[in-house]
Amino acid sequence: MVEFRHITKRFPGVLALDDINIELKPGEVHVLIGENGAGKSTLMKVLSGAYKQDEGELLIDGKVVEKNSPIISSSLGIGMIYQELNLIPELSIMKNIFLGNEKKKGIFDDKKYMYQKSKEYLSMLHLDIDPNTLVKNLGVGTQQMVEIAKAISKNSKVLVLDEPTSSLTDSEIKELFSIIKMLKEKGVGMFYISHRLEELYEVGDRVTIMRDGTKVGTYDLNEIKMDEMIEKIAGRKIENLYPRNRIKHGDCVLEVKNLTGKGFENISLKVYSGEIAGLSGLVGAGRTELARAIFGIDNYTSGEIFVNGVKINKNSTGEAVKAGIGLLPEDRKIQGLALKKNIRENMVITVLSSLGKKGVVNLKKEKEVCQKYVDELEIATPTIEKLAGFLSGGTQQKVVIAKWLMANLKLFIFDEPTRGIDVGAKSEIYRLMDELVAKGAAVLMISSDLPEVLGMSDRIYVMSQGKMTGCLNHDEADQNLVLTYAYNQKEEAV
Ligand SMILES: Nc1ncnc2c1ncn2[C@@H]1O[C@H](COP(=O)(O)OP(=O)(O)OP(=O)(O)O)[C@@H](O)[C@H]1O
Ligand SMILES: [Mg+2]
């Protein structure tokens, strides 16, 4: 259905794609994996006509596409769901689905038809929402589902899904997978990009591994094991993904007492110096809301927060920052990164004061520190002066993480720290987190990645539907126990 022949693509200082050859068969789910910045999204943008290759040929249905563009590729049956959501927030779901593709009745839009059809697509995805709802009023996961509905509505023969599950809940992921299976049976071919390696085996037929713009190889998913895949992605063996030197914890840094607010109820927890406390639960359990309240972004109705024994006032990020708290937000695109600033400027924002004297920034020192993090996290960029907006999706996240890791804080709140991050960089982030607590910091880590929570935490708090349902020591915790609390199937709540 699609063939990339010797595709090469360059950006200033970067060989983003280097002689790539890949084929997509009808009804095949072809998985693309590789480190952040490996070239996955760029290759898909060559297919969609958003980028033009410098060398090589793109074939669709066996025919060379001489001159590609988003309109041409769409007319040839290629549907794209981009990594960055592309919906227009101010328009309704229905308008978004039919954007540029409006059904007409004479000179007017056939609203009744489009409404009906939108409802059909949504119900296929088991979404019970009015198509007239504005997109800006939807959660990120639901927006992702609307993107999918939009792609389905075009009856695409080939569908590209670029990290579709990164912000979906477990049940939404299930829906998505059943849609993929249905499309497969209809003969739709799909490219599927994800950093969540566990799920690939569930949906994929073949996998192509990319590294630094080159193709490492294409494999049958039946024939390649997970650890082999990890080694090929990272280009090295990762012996221990979760490097922890557990130490005896020190004083209590954060104490949350009976906190109640929007999305959570009567929450108490403590995080000590030298400790990583995991906060587990299903998506929607109220963890992000709790974190935002602790950091002072949102208000709460009752309860108290203490940092190092001193009570902090509610709803003041200024006070939280002064107390030494930092929050790595879940939605990094919007909250964490200035796209028009370069990597260095983004990174040093929180440490400016410690890098210079009396407000004068020491540029040399600043560059050294940034370069160190670029190297350690393997941030794919020719220079630290590259604009953040031009980085790959996962690389942008690494920049935000580096910014927080280098800040001198007492308490780090990380909300889904490794979502969308490649497996090699994950292990580096874990190592840096371990270093932070070894130096006496405290970490509260919200994560929906169970192996990560189990591997990294000293203690694991579990929330379910806004309530704290469990607290486990790392030596007594296992996957089943955490899930039991997450689904709140234990009678005894703590
Ligand atoms: N418009 C652009 N201008 C400059 N460089 C770019 C541009 N688009 C992509 N790049 C560079 O091309 C390389 C490949 O990026 P790409 O987005 O394809 O990576 P990716 O494999 O999708 O990574 P991720 O897993 O993080 O999404 C990166 O080094 C990136 O910085
Ligand atoms: Mg990408």
Q: What is the pLDDT of residue 424?
A: 85
Q: Are residue 188 and residue 268 in the same domain, yes or no?
A: no
CATH of the domain at 441: 3.40.50.300
Q: How far apart are CA 35 and CA 238, in angstroms?
A: 14
> Pairing relation of β-strands 63-64 and 55-60?
antiparallel
Query: Which residue range is the domain that position 259 belongs to?
Result: 252-486
Q: Are residue 257 and residue 207 in the same domain, yes or no?
A: no
Q: What is the pLDDT of residue 333?
A: 61
Phi-psi bin for 309: left (phi > 0), alpha (psi -120 to 50), beta?
Answer: left
Task: Find tokens 């630094």 and name the residue.
Answer: 212
Here the tokens at position 189 are: 């071919």
Contact 115 CB / ligand 1 (< 6 Å): no
Contact 36 CB / ligand 1 (< 6 Å): yes
Q: How many helices (H) and strands (E) does the chain have?
A: 17, 24
Q: How far apart are CA 299 and CA 5, in angstroms?
A: 55
Q: Are residue 125 and residue 161 in the same domain, yes or no?
A: yes
Exposed/middle/buried for residue 415 (C-beta within 10 Å: 0-12, 13-18, 19+): buried
HSE (CB half, 13 Å, CA atoms) of 50?
Answer: 11
Instruction: Name the closest ligand to CA 195.
Output: 1
Q: Is residue 246 part of a domain?
A: no
Question: pLDDT per residue over 352-401, tens digit each?
Answer: 555 555 556 678 888 998 999 999 888 889 999 999 989 988 888 889 88
pLDDT bin (cut points 50, 70, 90) of residue 174 is confident
**Count of the separate structural domains present in the chain:** 2
Q: What is the pLDDT of residue 494?
A: 40
Last residue of a domain, one of 234, 267, 286: 234
Q: Is residue 174 part of a domain?
A: yes
Q: Are residue 393 and residue 464 in the same domain, yes or no?
A: yes
Q: Are residue 144 and residue 265 in the same domain, yes or no?
A: no
Q: Are residue 221 and residue 256 in the same domain, yes or no?
A: no
Q: How far apart are CA 382 and CA 393, in angstroms?
A: 16
Supply the residue whose CA is at minimum distance from atom 12 of ligand 1. Answer: 16
Residue 163 Cα to ligand 2 midpoint, Å, equals: 8
Cross-strand bridge partners of residue 167: none
Mean pLDDT, rounded, of the chain: 89
Q: Is residue 102 part of a domain?
A: yes
Mutation to probe ligand 1, out of 48, 80, 391, 418 (largest number of atoms < 8 A from CB): 391
Last residue of a domain, one of 234, 267, 295: 234
Q: Are residue 175 and residue 32 in the same domain, yes or no?
A: yes
More confident residue, 206 or 74: 206
Contact 38 CB / ligand 1 (< 6 Å): yes
Q: Is residue 312 part of a domain?
A: yes
Predicted TM-score (pTM) of this structure: 0.81
